[in-house]
A and B are shown apart, each in its own frame.
Chain A
Amino acid sequence: MERKKYQEIVKKYTPKENRIYNGLIAFITGGIVGVIGELLLNFYAYIFHISTKDASSFMIVTLIFISAFCTCLGFFDKLVNFCKAGLIVPITGFAHAMMSAALDYKKEGLVTGIGSNMFKLAGSVIIFGVCSAYFFGIIRILIFGG
């Protein structure tokens, strides 16, 4: 009985998240990240006189550096709290996960802290990406012949 009452009270006072507002914010911020990527892509293609396909790696490295650096300065976490999926789903979220894991475990030492925990959050992306790419690659070779 006591527990039931407690849960009712908790339910009453937990803030209700506005899902439409969250979705709109994620859509807009995610779109802005995409536009920034496109701007960087054209910028590098123009500066270095290379094709947009080659410029894409420059663009990815720039975005990763920006998000890692902003995580170090401390305000990227606040941005992620505000934008949520708008910054988690782009490649910035991958860099943010690695950077914050590296910072959190820094006090445990270089090897046992940073070295073994850096992929704690981002490792699942690489492992599932590689495994799924391998199996889908086999399927594609068997069906379409490569």
Chain B
Amino acid sequence: MIYLNAFIFCGFICLIGQIILDNTKLTPGHVTTLFVVIGAFLDIFDIYDKIIKWAGAGAMVPITSFGHSLIHGALDKASDFGIYGLFLGMFDLTSTGIVAAIVFAFLLSLFFKPHD
């Protein structure tokens, strides 16, 4: 059942993105940035955690979960250190994604040539 939920939620987010791309002059960069901000915003009211419980990986794969993980790690540390904790814990949960993207992009770009 969770596979169906993952399909529906992830597809729904992508559908919204495609509708924005087709009907406005925004570029893909604008759309992904917008989704990250929305993901961070939804975590103010703990909405995104409920979505992850419902859709599983379907909610972790879209870029909205990036914003959610950023604010989630920051708030975890903030419970110990107050507002200063926001500086400490911002990348706690997202570091895997960022580091993996940087390392793979750098190493692979050494071996491959650009395609036209």
Which residues on A are within 8 Å of B, measured CB to CB? 17, 19, 22-23, 25-35, 37-41, 52, 56-57, 59-61, 63-65, 68-69, 72-74, 77, 84-86, 88-91, 93-95, 97-104, 106, 114, 118, 121-122, 124-126, 128-130, 132-134, 136-141, 143, 146
How far apart are B41's CB and chain A's nearest CB, in angstroms? 6
Number of interface residues of B (CB under 8 A): 67
List the B residue with the shortest CB-CB distance to A107.
B114
A106 CA to B115 CA, complexed, in Å: 12
List the A residue with the shortest CB-CB distance to B20.
A85
Which residues on B are within 8 Å of A, measured CB to CB? 2-3, 6-15, 17-19, 21-23, 28-29, 31-33, 35-37, 40-41, 43-44, 55-58, 60-63, 65-67, 70-71, 74-75, 78-79, 82-83, 86, 90, 96-98, 100-102, 104-106, 108-109, 111-115
A138 CA to B74 CA, complexed, in Å: 10
Query: Would you call A129 and B29 a contact (CB within 8 A)?
Result: no
Query: Would you call B9 and A129 a contact (CB within 8 A)?
Result: no
A27 CA to B8 CA, complexed, in Å: 8
